[in-house]
């Protein structure tokens, strides 16, 4: 099955970005909102803003298959349904011919290359007399977008060519950079961007509300340094975010992932979507169907179904039950009757808490379905929160990307790994996250405590669990239910076959996987 969004996107892009032949036609065109026929008058500096609007449009145009591929290999989640490439990848059986690999490669690289085009256009406006301060800020914002996508590419494939201009053909001659070199490049790019970005919370921006700020850039820098195990660098970047006192955890963990959590003080980056509060008309939407229930009885009659392709793992559920978690488990996992029975079949979990139910706190009922036993609750929007007249599953919700809880736990991870900080101790950072969800505080936290807290906090999100295990050399956690993970073979995916046929440097690289 290849749903319409994939078909539409692939049709448009296969002719423009199957690197490098036909991609030239599409990627050499001007970006969003720029007339491809008329010559651009760069002295009309008011039009420079169109470049940043187009860049954000690309950022928000996330394809449904991209994030699941980034996160599917962790022990917190399983792919469900008929997406065979995801199922095989989850089992560490990689096939470089899987369409989803090539599609994700194209999704991420096409954004990066188009963003280079936007930066080049902004520079032309700047040279023609546009506001230099704004031009530098816009370029800095795009650098953060580019760095985040490059981070995801490297986590998936390891060694890669780093684009440095908007002409795709130049990649023919770009040598591969190692994983470590890419992370160093990202960190350096963030150092370049930070001085030009506003020092406010993203939700305080009045020009582009929820847009990138200095603190988004610091968070991406922390992520790159985390992968480098540059613990002082992580502590410094996260410490600056914490010391700003602009960010705080939302009191209600459950509602943070729903409409009340849009552009919350906890968010450093969200992908934004809206139905503009109207029952009909214009809508900007993410394809939430991937996560939604294929069979449910919604509290609001008529609410649409999903595909049910993203299933929290039994390992995660039992881990959370053993910890006495309620708020995070109830938020992350939606149970069906068959799922509850499956857990209770284990004598250790025969007596489940009364709140474990196939009915959500908002009254939606999740029925049995042959595709899955559990559903992904962080990507669930209660039917009662849909705008009246709008019935598409999940419509009007934002997609969470970087959260303050991740900043706190990256800070803690750096400190227990050897860094120091005068801003907040590792124990304080972990307990801030725990207190929000009613968990008892810990004393003198260790690396095991931090990684367990990250497992609990970020289950099913952005592959955070998998990359934590890779970074700390704990592949044995992934050997469950017949899986056999070997770090030297399975840490990175094989390059997509279509890309190997085009980029010669991919054919000579020995890529694990």
Residue 331 included in any domain: yes
Closest CA to 432 of 270, 238, 257, 260: 238
In a domain, residue 340? The reply is yes
Could you tell me how many residues make up the chain? Answer: 513
The pLDDT tens digits for 32-81 are 444 443 578 999 999 999 999 999 999 999 999 999 999 999 999 999 97
Percent of the chain residues past pLDDT 70, beyond the cut: 92
- Using one digit for the tens of pLDDT, what is the confidence trace for 471-497? 999 999 999 999 999 999 999 999 999
Please provide the average confidence, as pLDDT, over all residues in the chain: 92
Residue 82 lies in a domain: no
Radius of gyration of the chain (CA): 22
**Does residue 208 lie in a domain region?**
no
Instruction: Respond yes or no on whether the N-terminal peptide bond of residue 480 is cis (omega within 30° of 0).
Output: no
Whether the Cβ atoms of residue 257 and residue 378 lie closer than 8 Å to each other:
yes
The DSSP secondary structure of 228-246, one letter per residue, reads: HT-HHHHHHHHHHHHHTT-
pLDDT at 511: 64
Higher pLDDT: 25 or 164? It is 164
Q: Has residue 300 got a pLDDT over 90?
A: yes
pLDDT band at 509 (very low <50, low <70, confident <90, very high): low
Whether residue 159 is contained in a domain is answered as no
Can you give the pLDDT at residue 512?
56
The tally of domains found in the chain comes to: 1
Under a CB-based contact definition with an 8 Å cutoff, are residues 128 and 79 in contact?
A: no
Task: Indicate whether 152 belongs to any domain.
Answer: no
Structure confidence at residue 508 as a pLDDT band (50, 70, 90)? confident
Domain hosting residue 300, numbered range: 288-397
Q: What pLDDT score does 4 carry? A: 31
Does 298 reside within a domain? yes
Interacting residues of 347 by C-beta distance below 8 A, sequence separation 6+: none
Exposure pattern of 222-245 as b/e (b: 16+ CB <10 Å)?
A: bbbbbbbebbebbbbbbbbbbeee
Mean pLDDT of 192-220: 98
Taking 50 as the threshold, does the pLDDT of residue 120 lie above it? Answer: yes
Which of the four pLDDT bands, split at 50, 70 and 90, describes residue 510? low
| Within a domain: 327 | yes
Taking residues 237-244, report their average pLDDT: 98
Least confident of 25-34, 160-169, 244-253: 25-34
pLDDT at residue 116 greater than cutoff 50: yes
Tens-digit pLDDT profile for residues 19-29:
333 333 333 33
**DSSP string for 406-458:** HHHHHHHHHHHTT---SS--HHHHHHHHHHHTTPPP-SS--HHHHHHHHHHHH
Task: List phi, psi (to 5°) of 260.
Answer: -60, -15
Q: In this model, does residue 149 exceed pLDDT 70?
A: yes
């Amino acid at each position: 099955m290849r749903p319409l969004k994939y078909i539409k996107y692939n049709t448009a892009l296969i002719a423009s970005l199957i690197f490098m032949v036909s991609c030239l036609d599409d990627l050499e065109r001007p970006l969003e909102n720029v007339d491809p026929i008329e010559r651009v008058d760069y002295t009309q500096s008011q039009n420079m803003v169109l470049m940043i609007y187009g860049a954000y449009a690309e950022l928000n145009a996330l394809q449904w298959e991209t994030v699941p591929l980034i996160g599917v290999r962790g022990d917190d989640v399983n792919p469900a349904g008929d997406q065979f490439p995801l199922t095989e990848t989850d089992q560490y059986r990689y096939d470089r011919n899987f369409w989803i690999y090539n599609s994700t490669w194209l999704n991420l690289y096409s954004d990066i290359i188009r963003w280079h085009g936007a930066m080049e256009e902004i520079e032309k406006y700047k040279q023609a007399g546009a506001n230099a301060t704004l031009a530098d800020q816009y370029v800095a914002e795009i650098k953060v977008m580019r760095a985040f996508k490059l981070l995801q590419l490297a986590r998936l494939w390891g060694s890669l060519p780093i684009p440095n201009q908007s002409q795709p053909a130049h990649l023919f001659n770009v040598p591969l950079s190692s994983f470590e070199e890419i992370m160093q490049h990202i960190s350096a790019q963030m150092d370049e961007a930070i001085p030009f970005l506003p020092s406010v919370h993203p939700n305080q921006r009045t020009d582009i509300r929820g847009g990138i700020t200095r603190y988004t850039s610091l968070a991406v820098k922390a992520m790159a340094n985390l992968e480098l195990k540059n613990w002082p660098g992580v502590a410094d970047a996260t410490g600056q975010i914490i010391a700003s006192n602009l960010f705080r955890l939302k009191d209600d963990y459950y509602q943070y992932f729903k409409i009340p959590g849009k552009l919350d003080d906890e968010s450093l980056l969200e992908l934004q979507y809206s139905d503009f509060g109207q029952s009909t008309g214009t809508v900007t939407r993410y394809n939430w169907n991937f996560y939604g229930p294929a069979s449910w009885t919604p509290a609001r009659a008529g609410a649409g179904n999903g595909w049910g392709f993203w299933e929290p793992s039994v390992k995660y559920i039992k881990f959370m039950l053993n910890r006495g978690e309620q708020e995070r488990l109830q938020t992350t996992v939606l149970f069906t009757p068959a799922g509850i029975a499956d857990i209770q079949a284990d004598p250790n979990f025969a007596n489940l808490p009364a709140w474990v139910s196939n009915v959500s706190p908002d009254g939606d009922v999740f029925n049995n379905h042959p595709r899955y036993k559990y559903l992904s609750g962080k990507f669930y929007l209660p039917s009662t929160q849909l705008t009246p007249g709008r019935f598409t599953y999940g419509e009007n919700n934002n997609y969470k990307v970087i959260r303050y809880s991740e900043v706190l736990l990256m800070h803690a991870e750096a400190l227990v790994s050897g860094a120091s900080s005068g801003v907040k101790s590792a124990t304080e950072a972990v307990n801030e996250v725990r207190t929000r969800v009613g968990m008892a505080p810990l004393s003198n936290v260790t690396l095991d405590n931090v990684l367990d807290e990250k497992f609990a906090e970020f289950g099913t999100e952005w592959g955070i669990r998998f990359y934590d295990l890779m970074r700390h050399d704990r592949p044995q956690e992934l050997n469950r239910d017949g899986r056999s993970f070997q770090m030297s073979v399975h840490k990175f995916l094989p390059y997509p076959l279509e890309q190997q046929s085009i980029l010669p440097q991919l054919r000579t690289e020995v890529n694990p996987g």
